[in-house]
Structure formats: C-alpha cells, structure tokens
Amino acid sequence: MSMSKAGSALRYLLVSLIFGMFSIGCSEHHNEQNNSGITPDELSLPEQPNIVWLVVEDLSPYLPSFGDSTVRTPNLSRLAKEGICYDRFFASAPVCAPARASIATGMYPTHIAAGHMRTGGNPKYFPEGVTPYEAMPPAGVKMMSEWLRRQGYYCTNNSKEDYQFQKTVTAWDESSKQAHWRNRASEQPFFSIFNFTVTHESQIWAKSEDSLMVDPRLPVDVPPYLPDTEIGRNDVRRMYSNIVEMDRQVGEILDQLEEDGLLEETIIFWYSDHGGPLPRQKRLLYDSGLHVPMIIRFPNKQHAGTRNREMLSFIDLAPTALSLAGIAPKKYMDGIDFLGEYKPAESKKYIHAAADRFDAAYDKNRAVRDQRYKYIKYYEPEKPMFLHVKYRDQMPIMQELYRLRDAQKLTPAQALWFRDHKPTIEFFDTENDPHEINNVANDPAHAEKIEELSKECDRWLKAINDTGLREESALIESLWPNGKQPKVEEPDIKHTATEITLDCNTPGASIGYGWVSDKGQLPEIWQIYDGPMEINEGLTLVARADRIGYIPSNAVYLK
C-alpha cells in the first residue's frame, strides 16, 4: 500500500473510533416494531419520492447495527440510527446472479428459469455440454426499473448487472460506472442503484497482500464450521477490513445526497445481495448464505431507531419500490410490498429459497423458513454435502479446510460440510442453533412443525412451477428450441401527417424509441413508447422492441 493510501486508511480508522458512538444504532437503543411493519398511514412521503439502493455483495449481518461490534461502521451505524434495521430479511438464492434476477423482477429465480448460477456462462467455470442461455420470464414481465421509468422516474444503475439475462433496452436511463442521479436533465424523481463490490468473496484473496484497515491482531470470532487457525482468522479479518472500506464508500454516496440537498427527499435502502463471503456461507441454504442485513432510512428520519422483524425476501423489493412510487405491484410478481401505498394488511409467514447449479457443480435443494425454524429438502441426497466450486478454491481459508480435512483434523462441526452424502431433509431451530449445526429432523418434538414446513415447500414448488427441478438441458430446449434464442419482431411504425404509433407482434415486448439526426444512428437513451406521438420535424424516429430473455429486434427507422 502506498503512503497516501496508508494515511487514508489510518485517518479512516481514527474517524471510526471517534464516531464509534453511532455503532449502538440498531444493537442497543432501537425500539422494536410489531411483525406487521409500517402501514401506509404511518409514513409521510412525497408523491414520488426519490429511491436509492445501496447494494453490497456477499455480506451477512457482521455489523454493529446487527449486534457484531468487531469493527466500527460509522456511516452504516448513522444510517441505522436514523432508520429501520430489518432483522428477518432473506435472499431468494444464496448466490448473486439468481438472487439479482429475483430483485430485478420480483419473482423467484426458479420461477423464471434463473436458478442455475450464471446461465450466461463463464468459460472458466461453466459445465461442459451446457449451452449458455438466458432466463425467460412469462410475457409481460419487465425489469422493475422499467415500471418506474414509465412513471416518470430517472433510473440509473452503477454498475453491476448480472441478472441471468441481458438488460432490455427500456430498463435504464443509464447503466454504467458513470450512472448517477446527477446526470438527469431535470428535477424529475429518480431511482438509483449503487453496487459496492469490495465485500465480494473474491476480495478475500484478491486483497490478501493489501494492508488491512483493521488491526492485524484484531480478535475475531470464527464461526464453528470454519477453522479457528491463523489462516482462518486472517481471512475473517480481511472480511471485516473490507466491511470498513465498504462503509467509507457508502458514506460517499450519503455525502452526495446531502450536498445536493436531497437526503430528506430520498428513501435509502442499504442491503447485501446474499450471505457472507466465507466457505459454507455463500451458495448454501443455511442462514449464513441467506440471511442478510437491511437498513431503510426515510426522509426526515421517520421511524428512526426501530427494528423490524417481518419475514421479508428479495422478491419483495421490486413490489415495494413500485408501491413507494405510487405504482400498484404487478400481479405476476411473487413478492409483496412491505412498504408504501399498496402494502397488504397481513405480512408473510414464510420465506423460500433454492440452490441449484453452482458453476459446474449440480445440486437441487429447497428451503422454507419461518420466524424460528428452517426446513431444507435435498432432492439428490446421494450426492456429497460438499460440492466442489473451483472459483472458491482461491480463498486461503478454503485451502485450510482442505488441509485439515486431508489430515483428518476437522472438528465435528466442520466435518458436517464434508459428509459423503446428504440427509433427505435438515431441520433447524435457528433460535437455539443459529449456525445450523444440529439437525433435529428426527426429533419427535418437532414432527408437527416439520410437516407444516414440508407441506409449505410442496405448495410453493407447485405454485411457481419450479424450473430448477427439471434437467437443465431439457429446460434450455423448452426456452430455446433447437438451441436458438428467440428474437423479438421488429416494431411496426404507422403514421399520419401529424402522429406516429408503434406496435410489436411479440407478446409482452416493450418498445423503445428515440429521435436521431440520421438513419443508422441509435439514441443514447431509449425512451419507452406508451402511446401515439407527434412527429418531430427534422429528425428521424428509430424504434426497437425488446423482451427479457429474447434478442432485441433490429432497429427500424422513419424519416
């Protein structure tokens, strides 16, 4: 690390210590809401509030605001002190691309053929014989940002996509490293996502030679399923160091909102895209892979210093954003809005999650959880519990687990992950067993609850027509017959002397358009067609139709 970077890190540590008082935000002085959350009458919001999502990667609730005081996070602790901490928020899948598909659509990944990790493929990790493909929701399903754009919002994403499908041309005003609400041309309301990658699992090994932003002797609690050795502790320290760096980056966005005078006109969501970066966290259906922290701050600190214990899932984010913007959630969405004008009277009782293929390793596991109990069903119990993921092997703590396994020095808790087969089901009392070490599926005292969650799992699988239960090759053939991706038909342009109308024969397609100087040009931003338009004299109309999972149409022009 350069001297300037070292100085910056030291200054940040000092600031963290000085402002450590904020770390009590959620952990000590929070009032607890009831499990039904906030009703629409309990919020005072502009008609179209700005909405900002601050999304971090691969992070469990390792924060002062959620009871872990290992490091200081002054910016998140301030956000927590001025907002609401959500204690029962869960990913729909324990890995990024499937989880992101559900965030973008409000639907379960296994409902839209997005359950296998990175359907588009990565040559280094993709299984042999499988053709890369895109998820394909039913006709009419749009990315949630498109619905907001249709309502007049300026929508930006900075900058990770990775949705299991290519973004549609109508999804964003901007999606790039430069995307920002500051780029909007007017005072229109905005929806802006900022993604923070420093906490990603890859940064455990990629930053292994960097100086830590925490004391290298920092005492850390190592989960019982991981090795409490110096190598293990070093990777845990790196995780906490990355959290400190992420907190600083989040603070920069909060500062920008304040500089622009927008903080009290904006609803801020901060959350993680699934559970932690360490082995037996990411990719598994235990809470270590699914349970994530979320903080929401409302304008003027409404409901500041409270905790919420509703059962919430990633599928609820899209309908909630729409509801806060005054848009009725779409009927195709699997989630419900937990805030805003259209919030239902009753909260959900369960959350659901799935884990299928990870890179080249196939599995087929489903989970249902209520406030206390977790039910996991393994559809291929003959397979080992541990499935090899080459990408993860780059992490020193993973290599340490291999070393201890080969030397037969794993503890009983660590050895559970390396069983040569799975049980048919696992059942955990997460209140008394938060690390999900003790499977009590055979305890008669839990028989009634196990039956309840088993029936709920079966009901859910049937309700969403779970695509992950099919062989992936057969699934791809049903989406892309003969291996050919469907393409949206070109939009039909009709016009009179004063008016233009656009139409597309592909069911559920959206039409984007723009005005350009010459035929052959494309607009920087595709506007969304929603009705007849006046002719723009002196310019050429260009239109393109698109649908999630399809190849967008060719551009068509009208002079």
Active-site residues, by number, are: 96
CB contact at 8 A, 306 and 32? yes
HSE, CB side, 13 Å, CA atoms: give it for residue 366. 22
CB contact at 8 A, 298 and 264? no
Omega before residue 159 within 30° of 0, cis: yes
CA–centroid distance for 501 within its chain = 37
d(CA 250, CA 108) in angstroms, rounded, equals 28
Distances (CA, A) of 117 to 137, 279, 357, 551: 16, 17, 6, 21
Nearest alpha carbon to residue 58 among 295, 278, 277: 277
d(CA 83, CA 38) in angstroms, rounded, equals 13
d(CA 525, CA 176) in angstroms, rounded, equals 12
The radius of gyration of the chain's CA atoms, rounded to the nearest angstrom, is 24
Q: Position of tokens 């399903």?
A: 141
Phi, psi of 358 (to 5 degrees): -120, 110
Encoded tokens for 249? 């980056």
Q: What residues pair up with 31 in beta bridges, in sequence order? A: 306
Measured distance between the N- and C-terminal CA atoms of the chain, rounded to whole angstroms: 57
Encoded tokens for 43? 């919020």
What's the DSSP call for residue 396? H
d(CA 369, CA 453) in angstroms, rounded, equals 8
Distances (CA, A) of 82 to 30, 76, 88, 362: 10, 10, 19, 43
SS3 content of the chain, % helix, strand, coil (to 5): 30, 20, 50
Distances (CA, A) of 343 to 66, 326, 436, 510: 26, 11, 32, 27
DSSP line for 18-59: HTGGGGGTTTTSPEEPPTT---GGG----SS-EEEEEEESS-
CB contact at 8 A, 355 and 284? yes
Burial class from Cβ neighbours inside 10 Å (0-12, 13-18, 19+) for residue 256 reads middle
